Amino acid sequence: MKTQLIEKLNNRTATIGIVGLGYVGLPLALRYLEVGYPVLGLDIDQNKVDQIMGGQSYIKHIPSEPIKAHVDSGKLQCTTDFTKAAEADALILCVPTPLNKHREPDLSYVISSLEMLLHSLRPGQIISLESTTYPGTTDEELMPRIEQAGFKVGKDIFLVYSPEREDPGNPDFNTRTIPKVCGGVTPACMETGLALYGQVIDQVVQVSSTRAAEAVKLMENIFRSVNIALVNELKTAFMKMDIDIFEVVRAASTKPFGFMPFYPGPGLGGHCIPIDPFYLTWKAREYDVATRFIELAGEINTSMPYFVVNRAAEVLNEFEKPVKNSKILLLGLAYKAEVDDDRESPTYRIMELLEHKGARVFYNDPFVPEIRPSREYAHYAGRRSSPLNDDYDLVILCTAHMVYRDINLNKIGVPILDTRGFFPDVDGKVFRA
């Protein structure tokens, strides 16, 4: 059974099932299609499925043309009918793993997706989980459910964990060129996982277990979280000393060894860095381990929107205006520049905090013309991007989209609070946060 599956994967006749057609699943599906595999997309969102089957991309950095071509050729089929999973030889889970309101891991999307698949599983399939999670998820949560359904992992069904490493909007790396870490539950699972990814990824990095692979993803993002917290803390200290943190980082970056630049901002955003560290801190408590360093970094990063709002109050005060009833425009809703991904964006928290203080808050983002429904900020759904003009008391730059380079600071009669070190320093016009 393993030999037959590996042969189908290696000769590219295996049907690849992608469960979750979001920022991770859709690029991965296109990569498999690019090298000739037939792909079955599974998603619970009928609108998303309809768009893809209509040949349309709903993600800014993914063009519609290849989607339409693959749909027209019949190689790409998408559906909300999870019973179709029986047609796939591989099932790759790319579903969200958010935190609940207590900042504890929420595996409901992973578990519910697997349970919808269980009734359609058959011997000779491989299942790969790509969603970020704590060490132990694959063998503690997925494997028991698969075996309770009557399959033997490593013999009937092959199970691996391979964390996604997508970086939307990055022009230097793509799905093919980013090395892929993979760990299997058994040696047979690992061998099958290497065949699954070996045809589409330039380098597959084998680790000893699914737990090790799960830990790799957490370490990568905790590394970023801790270092961003460090520069955020340095920013607040240096600001008191009238030192520009961005100038300091740029100068320190000229050292050719022993230094890696990280830049401060208004808080953390995206589906990984604000969330992943808490997956490890939660799991570590099971082993009576206190991850104080990671938790402190989380506290610093989650406090940054409060810092920005306090700075906004200080700037408005210089112009003899209170926060209450002030009209404030936030530049950039996406969590990072040049993408339309607004998940976990700190701009939302800044918006909430300012409105709680009585401000009238608007946003501008050419990549997010209208706020889409979301789990945490459903009350903002439908709000539309507003134009930049002089009809505000304060403008706060939250996301450094390159289009904002075109702003003529000399013609804007509004003070700008810059959280990214994006604008040149103009006395009385640009303020740092």
* pLDDT (tens digit per residue) in 124-154: 999 999 999 999 999 999 999 999 999 999 9
Decide if pLDDT at 66 tops 80. Answer: yes
Q: What percent of the chain has pLDDT over 90?
A: 85
Contact predicate 95/110, CB 8 Å:
yes
- Which residues, in sequence order, are CB contacts of 53 under 8 Å at separation 6+? 71, 77, 78
104 pLDDT higher than 80: yes
Which pLDDT value is given to residue 348? Answer: 96
* CATH, domain 232-432, list 3.90.1150.10, 3.40.50.300, 3.40.50.720, 3.40.630.150: 3.40.50.720
Scored b (16 or more CB within 10 A) or e, 81-103 reads ebebbeebbbbbbbbbbbbeeeb
Catalytic-role residue among 94, 189, 272, 398 = 272
What pLDDT score was predicted for residue 140? 97
What is the gyration radius of the CA atoms in the chain, in angstroms? 23
Is 272 tagged catalytic?
yes
User: Residue 375 pLDDT > 80, yes or no?
Assistant: no
Complete DSSP assignment for 226-275: HHHHHHHHHHHHHHHTT--HHHHHHHHTT-SSS-------SS--SSSTTT
Distance CA 409, CA 270 (A): 29
In this predicted model, which residue has the larger pLDDT, 344 or 392? 392
pLDDT score for 1: 85
Give the Cα-Cα-Cα angle 115, 119, 124 (nearest 5 degrees).
105
Quick one: average pLDDT of 340-349? 92
Q: Beta strands 180-184 and 157-161: pairing type?
A: antiparallel
Return d(Cα 377, Cα 305) in angstroms, integer.
Answer: 16
Break the chain into its structural domains and give their ranges: 2-215, 232-432
- pLDDT higher than threshold 80 for residue 273: no
**pLDDT of amino acid 25:** 95
pLDDT of 230 > 90? The answer is yes
Mean pLDDT, to the nearest integer, of 199-219?
97
pLDDT at residue 83, as a whole number: 96
Structure tokens at 272: 């990984």
Q: What is the pLDDT of residues 11-25, one digit of tens each?
A: 999 999 999 999 899
Using alpha carbons only, give the angle 199, 203, 209 rounded to the nearest 5 degrees: 95
Q: Dihedral sign for Cα 118, 123, 129, 135, please.
A: positive
Q: Which amino acid is at 277?
A: P
- DSSP line for 180-205: EEEEESSHHHHHHHHHHHHTT-S-EE
Mean pLDDT of 374-399: 92
| Structure confidence at residue 89 (pLDDT) | 98
> Are both 2-215 and 232-432 of the same fold?
yes
Taking 90 as the threshold, does the pLDDT of residue 41 lie above it? yes
Which residues does 348 contact at the CB level (< 8 Å), separation at least 6? 333, 342, 376, 377, 380
Residue range 2-215, CATH number: 3.40.50.720
